[in-house]
Structure 1
Amino acid sequence: MSRPVSLVAARRATFAIFVANGFGYGAWATAIPSLKAMLSLSAAQLSWALLAMSIGGVIAMQPASHIVQKFGGTGRTTSRMGYLYAAAVALPLLAPNLALLVIACALVGATICLMDVAMNAHATRIEADWGSAINSSFHAGFSLGGLVGTGFGAMLLSLHMPTHFLLLPSAAIVLATVVLAAPHLGPGDTEKREPGPIFRLPERSIALLAVVLTLCFMSEGAMADWSGIYLTTLGETPARAAAGYASFSAVMVMGRLCGDWVVQRFGRPTVIGAGCALAAFGLILATALPYFLVVVIGFAFVGAGLSNVVPCVFSTAAARASSPAAGIAEVSTAGFGGFLTGPVLIGAVAAAYGMRAGVGVIAAAATLAALVSLRLKTQR
């Protein structure tokens, strides 16, 4: 099927935007240990900065649909938020003390989430114009960008770049990517709608999607924060423990690269339900049989299961809500609530009952997500 050249260019440009978003996030992740050492932060002090980033993102997501309306569409908003994100991503390493670090992290969280809402809303508009499911390929771009950004950050660390300047090259790459992609994004969704209140709960039509995303984000966040720690409690070295998150990330990338075909073949509700069930199975496996190889395989199942849940939830929310930006902002806000509460919940349970119990809590959350998703097929 032949498609307009402008639409093909818009798809490629949007993919590049997703790569840039993930690249900046991956580079930031590699810089965290250096930042902690540079400012002589305790684990508790660093957690305040990371919490500020999450809170800044959650707060910024609420008025996101209003900002899209104000800037005249998802395409224009995506590029402008990309510029802000590129400017903000290097700020934390320039902070001379904890107070300014907290402020810088809040700004980074706000810009990355505003960019996230805008680019996802734009992606759903392109997907609708394309006429078939392509949203997973955009999210594969984010995952690939994260992997490349992590590798780039590790290379800069190996070259002993001063910590203050560690994120400046990455910010420049993000900015250059956005500048090159922006002219080809297209207008996207420019329809004027009644924006409604700035702060609101998810609309009834997407309430179940918000619940599913919250529970899945708890599981996805746990992989980043706790997979390595879980393996070290089983007696593995930190180097071997990294295999848990590596297996999760690598399989997630592969899942997203073939996700469009999977969605077209089985439909979004089925992919969401089956993905949550597969993630739950992987977590239960890792909890029930705490052996290195079994845990790594279990975490790979989690990556395969969750790989296409988020793009499917975003596409479905954009279609069912009052506007694409509003739907994505509302479910994303709920989802990031899972990122905020998940680590705290796991830590509390692990402190009282051990890490296996902490991972078991996330397995229960993924199982609940699978059960809730069963109702998505009947909800309209």
Structure 2
Amino acid sequence: MTSRDERRAVHSPSTGKPSVRVVFVTPALGDNSLGRTYALWLLARHLGWETSVVALHDAQLWGPLAQTAFAADCRAVGTSPHDVAAALAGADLCVAIKPFANSLGAAHAAARAAGVPLLADVDDPDIEKTLAFGNTATAWTKRVARELMRRPKVAEMRRMRRLLQDVPVLTSNPTLQQRYGGTVIPHARPDLGQGAPHVHRRPTVAFVGTNRAHKGVPELRAAVARLQDDGYRLVITDDAPSDAHTWETWMGTTTLDVGLSVTRDSDVVAIPSHAGIVSRGQLPAKLIDAMMLGRAIVASDLPPVRWALGEAGILVRPGSVAELTAALARLADPGLRTSLGARARKRALSHFTVEQLAPEFAAASNRLV
């Protein structure tokens, strides 16, 4: 037997099915795109498969995952598709995370050279964001200059879009599936148990995750500021700005474990994303974490969030400080928080655990190997 055949003859302890060696090609080791890689890695490890995670650069691991078992599987392999092809030697499957030239582009060339099946994963509307035309209100000269600078990136993403038509695809939510087809594999999470009991009448609201412009943190800060007569507090996993308030706790960039601890101890988790191109196709992993831990959730009413949360939280109009404030005010009631948290946890356990999603990931993979 070849080494690959020998490995396939060994049965996985989790499934009793032949073992698989899968290589995840991720666009970078040093940013939050690694979070999606981690979610799929959890599924492969649950299945008992051999795993490795490679990137063309960024040897320093993204902080939240630097202290996890996942980190031991990650390495930078060089600067070209040839380096990725070498990393695929003996692999049964290559999974390209995100439709970027340094992930899908490199993996497509490398997998072809190595004779390894390729599965592409799309968890964000990265292509749509790049190909979207600029703001028509921008001055004409600035707009032209910006478009000239964007042309190489636009051409690259158009090529990635064409590649996605030629390979099997995973997506993180039905909104992306409508565009790219394939199999929906949401962000998988282990069951870490129920979070803290909902007993406080002066709630702590948490924003956990990467704080970017479209995430709605300014609106969240404004909403909590309006609730100071009721003693609300706000915890944010980012560095403190110059105008931080006394009722705000800014924790800086945290590890995955610390972020989960913040979520577990919070009374309310807020996901107040704006209604832009990114948010309309993005399923936040922190939403799944909050549901799994039985938190009361207030989130912007956007398609992937609505699909994941169902009736287990409060949805508000994106960008509306008034609606966000009103929703948070309702959650001063521990009984309501307990009820919503229980519904959220029940839904997460039935839809988003590693155990629930691993068979679907295995089925999509086994069609290729």
> What range is the shorter-chain TM-score in?
under 0.3
Specify which structure has the higher proportion of strand: 2
Scaled by the length of structure 1, the TM-score of the pair is 0.27
Structure of greater relative contact order (alpha carbons < 8 Å, 6+ residues apart):
1
Larger helix percent: 1
Q: Which has the higher Rg, Structure 1 or Structure 2?
A: 2
